[in-house]
Structure 1
Amino acid sequence: MPQADLRALAPDPVLRPDGLPALDDWSLDPAVRHLNHGSFGAVPSATGTWQQALREEAERDPVAWFRHLPARVAQARCAIADWLHAPREATALVPNASAGVTAVLSSLPLRAGERIVVTDHAYGAVDMAVRRHAARAGAQVDTVHVPLAADAEQSAALIRAAVDSHDRTALVVVDHITSATARLMPVQQIAADCRERGIALLIDGAHAPGMLAEPLSGLQGTYWVGNLHKWPCAPRGTAALVAQPADPADRQRLFPPIDSWGAPNDYPQRFDQQGTLDLSAWLAAPHALDFVEDRYGWDAARTHISTLADYAQQYVAERWGVSLDGLPPEPAPAMRLVPLPDSIAADEAAAHALQHAIADRHACATSVTTWRGRGFLRLSAHLYNTPADYQDFADRCDVLHI
């Protein structure tokens, strides 16, 4: 499609109620094209101000602050659980998805000779945590290859076959939305298969909150962790762990990565007290959730960013003359891949180098990922992004001549 025709399909930018660009609600540098919300998110300015007020309150009377902090964390936790449509009694707060994964892995009674099944789309830090815990127990880790173009039925069938190939499979670990390849995984079907077989399932839902309206739907019998600093725009250091094992009593094996004075309490209350850590991000997280709802509406926001992500992918691919064949048939709602030419970003070091070069030379914050020797540009979309962000980036940046 000619570029002029493609530009005509661009969705209208989101505006604040006063007519100013949505970007003005964030403290992002307007001189940078922010196309990588998926890595570290972005906090609305109003939420940042709210969090700073909390920190100042703590400094005015630290003793009073820490005395009342567990109760305030519990209140924020319940608000977050309600927003996720998750049971309050199943939901704890953790610093990030990796911390939640560590808490779950540490709680499971893994034995020598048992087996953990992962996929080759797993997030690197999670994969490393799985292998460390397996090695400590004398268990083994099997990696299932899920082709990039595999649909939901094919993906679930591959994981199911891997589980059934070994009579001592104890745990499956799978992404809800993959990081490097920006695809939805069929977690509801995988959860049903694991329930049927009595096998524990841990879902890395780092990108799911905010992108999906009800990320916990159909995931009974699982452990799930999701970051709130990404799409929900909460301050960094905020994530949710939702424990819904087949036996609810198994929740009581879960402890935070750091033991503190809350350790004698039941789950999830024992996670509410974390010594002298700055938990202002947890207290401010509901403010971010409410800000987006009150200002823009979460349902409208999800629809817009998905439409914008589609446009961004199409525009950049057309501008660079790149084929989109063979990409995941069920992409993440707010992230899209653009394949890079062969040999470009073929490994992690090269991907990072390219990402840094784009930032340094073109003032564009992007994500360059690599998977099985193939490099990709991973584009994110959020409310503050506009079609012009992707147009300007694609028009100015040639990945072959950075």
Structure 2
Amino acid sequence: MLQLPDGRPARAAWPLSDDLLHLNHGSFGAAPASTLATQDALRAEMNAAPVRWFAGLPARIATARVAVADFLSVPHHRLALVPNASAGMSAALSAVDIPTGGEILVTDHAYGAVVMGAERRAPVHRAHVPLAAGPGEAAAAVIEAFTDRTALVVLDHVTSPTARLLPVAAITAAARTRGIPVLVDGAHVPGLIDTPLDGLDCDYWVGNLHKFACAPPGAAVLIARDGARLHPVIDSWGSAEPFPSRFDVQGTLDATAQLTAPHALTEIEKLWGWQRVREHAEELAAYATARVASAFTELTGEDHTVEVGMPAGPMRLVRLPGTLGAAPGAPDALRARVLAELNAECAFSTFGGRGYLRLSAHAYNTPADYDDFATNCVPTLTAWSRALH
């Protein structure tokens, strides 16, 4: 268990409710209390002198994005700050030329909102990647789906519904040889993977800073090999500026999350170090899945472990019993019901006709969180499953 310098558990650094089990850092993240206090101070400054604030905001955003670029080990001129990964995806999708008859290739693990954005640009073709596929098999499944109509590949670095890595380096290298641009959705990646763009030959890469990196919601990155064609989704007075400066001016958006993101990055490093947090979270996620899967098995007699070819460190899957969570729309309904009736913040997904619980771990989590879920929530979920039949 990670501790603060004064001996208190790491959880004390977060203002998370003691009335809930927080097992879903992967969806919306959670910012430390000190980072939120920094954001509150910035908001107070903004509201005290709005004219001064917005006049000086572009320079402050430029300073913040340099700090974030250094954290991700990417050149400063390649990185822009955006409100969230979806805004970055929308900007990148708008920048790519899609010829008549062209298609966008995604995998069947792609995030639903990203697929909807791609479908607005062109017909979408899905490559099937088996959940248990290792790097070679997964890469081949995507590369073999390239056709003469493939105008863009949209690829998850870490998949949201299935909590697995994809072999993005191998796939982007193959796409480069065929002249196919690649947009990588790294929504979960900043903080989770050290230097995530090393060896990655993609045209565009987006990632949220509010997930594993612990910034407040409203901060994300858009990284480009060449940003000349990229424009923010909000046209404002910075439109005539070059990339990435044009992204520093987006009207009257509350940019305090972007300005606060460097504080979150340095706070975690100061308290424990990012590498230690990654190791803690991965070890804890492995314990969590084994503990929860075993609890389900004791009640159902079935194997609830999930073979994932490239597991994504602090996010792991457990198979739900029966058809629980498997129907369209069921994961969101189940998330709401578990929160309302079991006081647990969890993520659920469906893939290949099966329902899954996606567990996350971060610095503030402990084995007791997952023991609590196994003891108090698993029996109810099993009962809900039996009631469906």
Contact residue 348 and residue 369 of structure 1 kept, 8 A = no
What corresponds to 2:382 in structure 1?
Answer: 400
What corresponds to 1:19 in structure 2?
Answer: 7
Note if 1:150 corresponds to 2:126: no
Q: Distance in 1 between matches of 2:130 and 2:177?
A: 25
Note if 1:275 corresponds to 2:275: no
What corresponds to 1:261 in structure 2?
Answer: 237
User: Alignment identity in percent?
Assistant: 51
Q: Distance in 1 between matches of 2:193 and 2:131?
A: 21
What corresponds to 1:300 in structure 2?
Answer: 276
Contact residue 370 and residue 376 of structure 1 kept, 8 A = yes
Cα 1:302–1:43 change in 2 (3 A) is same
What corresponds to 1:223 in structure 2?
Answer: 204
Q: Distance in 1 between matches of 2:273 and 2:142?
A: 36
Amino acid of the residue matched to residue 57 of structure 1? Answer: E
Residues 183-236 of structure 1 deviation map (CA, whole Å, 9 limit, x = unaligned)? 000001111111111110000000011110111111134210000000000010
Q: Please state how far the C-alpha of 1:324 moved relative to its aligned partner.
A: 4.9
Q: Distance in 2 between matches of 1:80 and 1:229?
A: 12
What corresponds to 2:370 in structure 1?
Answer: 390
Give the match's secondary structure for 1:225. Answer: strand
Give the match's secondary structure for 2:124. Answer: strand
Note if 1:198 corresponds to 2:174: no
What corresponds to 1:291 in structure 2?
Answer: 267
Q: Distance in 1 between matches of 2:258 and 2:249?
A: 12
Note if 1:360 corresponds to 2:343: no
Return 5+ residue gaps in structure 2 as ranges: 385-389
Q: Please state how far the C-alpha of 1:353 moved relative to its aligned partner.
A: 2.1
Return 5+ residue gaps in structure 1 as ranges: 1-12, 135-139
Give the match's secondary structure for 2:329. Answer: helix
What corresponds to 1:94 in structure 2?
Answer: 82
What corresponds to 1:329 in structure 2?
Answer: 309
Q: Please state how far the C-alpha of 1:326 moved relative to its aligned partner.
A: 5.0
Note if 1:185 corresponds to 2:166: yes
Q: Distance in 1 between matches of 2:340 and 2:52?
A: 45
Note if 1:42 corresponds to 2:42: no
Contact residue 296 and residue 304 of structure 2 kept, 8 A = no
Contact residue 289 and residue 305 of structure 2 kept, 8 A = no
Give the match's secondary structure for 2:97. Answer: coil
Contact residue 296 and residue 382 of structure 2 kept, 8 A = no
Give the match's secondary structure for 1:17. Answer: coil
Q: Please state how far the C-alpha of 1:368 moved relative to its aligned partner.
A: 1.1
Q: Distance in 2 between matches of 1:160 and 1:324?
A: 31
Contact residue 107 and residue 128 of structure 2 kept, 8 A = yes
Contact residue 306 and residue 317 of structure 2 kept, 8 A = no
Q: Distance in 2 between matches of 1:324 and 1:104?
A: 38
Normalization by structure 2: what TM-score? 0.95
Amino acid of the residue matched to residue 290 of structure 2? Answer: Q
| Structural mapping, 1:229-268, within 5 Å | 229-244=210-225, 248=226, 251-268=227-244
Q: Distance in 2 between matches of 1:353 and 1:280?
A: 32
Q: Distance in 2 between matches of 1:326 and 1:366?
A: 17
Amino acid of the residue matched to residue 313 of structure 2? Answer: P
Q: Please state how far the C-alpha of 1:78 moved relative to its aligned partner.
A: 0.6
**Considering only aligned residues, what root-mean-square deviation do their CA atoms show, in Å?**
1.1
| Structural mapping, 1:33-182, within 5 Å | 33-134=21-122, 140-163=123-146, 166-182=147-163
Contact residue 42 and residue 229 of structure 1 kept, 8 A = yes
**Count of aligned pairs:** 378
Q: Distance in 1 between matches of 2:205 and 2:150?
A: 19
Worse-superposed segment, 352-361 or 153-162: 352-361
Give the match's secondary structure for 1:375. Answer: strand
Amino acid of the residue matched to residue 99 of structure 2? Answer: R
Residues 282-327 of structure 1 deviation map (CA, whole Å, 9 limit, x = unaligned)? 1000000000000110010101000000000000011111525552
Residues 319-360 of structure 1 deviation map (CA, whole Å, 9 limit, x = unaligned)? 111525552121111100000123111124222222222212
Residues 158-203 of structure 1 deviation map (CA, whole Å, 9 limit, x = unaligned)? 111111xx22321111100000000000001111111111110000
Residues 8-36 of structure 1 deviation map (CA, whole Å, 9 limit, x = unaligned)? xxxxx111110111111001001211000
